[in-house]
């Protein structure tokens, strides 16, 4: 948990390096023997889905319907699914949002800081397993692509750039209008081949149909996990009063004394939350909502653990 004011606003490189000691949260107790030498004593809470075919077995509740072997299913009159060995050279991709809306919170830490720490913990976990780490970092000024690598020095550079983005100055209005989540999702789809694990961490403030299309296409060949980091104030209207708000250029008054305003305020957040949840359900994507007031390490890990048991 983050407590001091500086750590709540910025994520230092040192703190992101220390997140390697949080990786134990992303393991579960072993439930079967393994023939792989480097698997360790615990199993990952991430499901392996590589490109090496292993066997066909009867469909079990929770299996990915996209892996159903329809030819054998038709022959035997029972549903069979394909099983794949865990990809030995899997790439783990991150799309991390550090734009202006992420630099906000009323509790614990900025959304940008929470994203930084969750990404660091997860990246360390997979780096220890020998997977390649890469991704896209998104700010108001730049969108930078990092090609996947398993080298330690490249991971440190990746974390260093994440730290810098939490420290950078951010205007209320984006400097580059074309730097949108939709553009980043499209670039991620173009850069990421099939058979990989993809984490998208954002508040999805500008999610739209184009972004959904790119994510849906990405999910057809990859395991995609959406992490939605939000603050409680975004979904709960402030107490009745008149609040001055600005986009950096214009200032207007938000009058929450009227019930219609309160309802519209809360509906805006709820509509976005529901659209993400429904989209994720439709395309077999795991959706993880995380409030800034939560113990975000445990909330993230517990959600993924429940996902594995499904």
pLDDT (tens digit, 9 = 90+) per residue, 176-193?
A: 566 899 999 999 999 998
Query: Which pLDDT band, with edges at 50, 70 and 90, does 14 fall under?
Result: very high
244 bridge partner residues: 253
Q: Given this model, what pLDDT does residue 25 score?
A: 92
Q: How confident is the model at residue 45 (pLDDT cuts 50, 70, 90)?
A: low
Q: Which range among 21-25, 211-215, 269-273 shows the weakest confidence by mean pLDDT?
A: 269-273
Q: Output the pTM of the full model.
A: 0.77
Q: Pick the residue with more confidence: 175 or 154? A: 154
Q: Is the pLDDT of residue 49 over 50?
A: no
| pLDDT value at residue 261 | 77
Mean pLDDT of the chain: 83
User: What percentage of residues in the chain have a pLDDT greater than 90?
Assistant: 50
How many Cβ atoms are within 10 Å of 30's Cβ, its own excluded?
Answer: 12
**DSSP H/E element including 152:** helix 152-167
Mean pLDDT (whole number) for 27-35 = 44
What does DSSP say about strands 43-44 and 52-58: parallel, antiparallel, or unpaired?
Answer: unpaired
Question: Where exactly does CATH 3.40.50 map onto the chain?
Answer: 5-27+89-230+287-309
We find that the CATH architecture of domain 5-27+89-230+287-309 is 3-Layer(aba) Sandwich (3.40)
Q: Pick 177 or 144 by higher pLDDT.
A: 144
Tell me, what's the pLDDT at 16? 97
How far apart, in Å, do the first and last CA atoms of the chain sit?
28
pLDDT above 70 (res 172): no
Distance CA 182, CA 137 (A): 13
Instruction: Produce one character per residue of 222-238: b if its CB has 16 or more CB atoms within 10 Å, e if not.
Output: bbbbbbbbbbeebbebe
In this predicted structure, the answer to whether residue 213 has a pLDDT above a threshold of 70 is yes
Alpha carbon separation from 275 to 161, 165, 199, 284 (Å, rounded): 31, 28, 18, 14
Q: What is the rounded distance in angstroms from the CA atom of residue 101 to the CA atom of residue 290?
A: 15
Strands 223-230 and 197-202 turn out to be parallel
């Amino acid at each position: 948990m983050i407590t001091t004011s500086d750590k709540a606003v910025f994520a230092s490189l040192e703190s992101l390096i220390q997140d390697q000691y949080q990786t134990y949260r992303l393991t579960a107790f072993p439930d079967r023997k393994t023939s792989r030498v480097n698997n360790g004593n615990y199993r990952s809470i991430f499901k392996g889905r590589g490109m090496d075919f292993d066997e066909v077995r009867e469909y079990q509740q929770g299996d990915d319907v996209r892996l159903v072997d329809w030819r054998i299913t038709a022959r035997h009159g029972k549903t069979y699914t394909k099983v794949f060995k865990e990809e030995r050279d899997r790439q783990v991709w991150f799309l991390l949002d550090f734009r202006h809306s992420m630099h906000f919170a009323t509790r614990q830490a900025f959304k940008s800081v929470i994203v930084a720490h969750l990404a660091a913990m997860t990246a360390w976990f997979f780096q220890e397993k020998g997977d390649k780490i890469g991704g896209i970092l998104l700010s108001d000024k730049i969108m930078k692509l990092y090609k996947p690598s398993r080298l330690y020095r490249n991971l440190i550079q990746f974390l260093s750039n994440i730290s810098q983005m939490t420290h950078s100055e951010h205007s209320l209005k984006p400097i580059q209008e074309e730097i949108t989540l939709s553009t980043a999702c499209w670039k991620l789809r173009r850069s990421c081949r099939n058979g990989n694990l993809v984490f998208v961490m954002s508040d999805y403030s500008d999610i739209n149909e184009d972004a959904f299309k790119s994510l849906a296409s990405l999910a057809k060949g990859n395991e995609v996990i959406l992490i939605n980091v939000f603050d409680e104030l975004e979904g709960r209207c402030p107490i009745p009063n008149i609040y001055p708000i600005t986009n950096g250029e214009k200032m207007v008054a938000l009058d929450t004394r009227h019930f219609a305003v309160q309802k519209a305020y809360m509906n805006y957040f709820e509509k976005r939350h529901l659209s993400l949840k429904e989209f994720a359900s439709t395309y077999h994507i795991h959706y993880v909502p995380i409030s800034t007031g939560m113990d975000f390490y445990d909330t993230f890990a517990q959600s993924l653990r429940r996902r594995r048991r499904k």
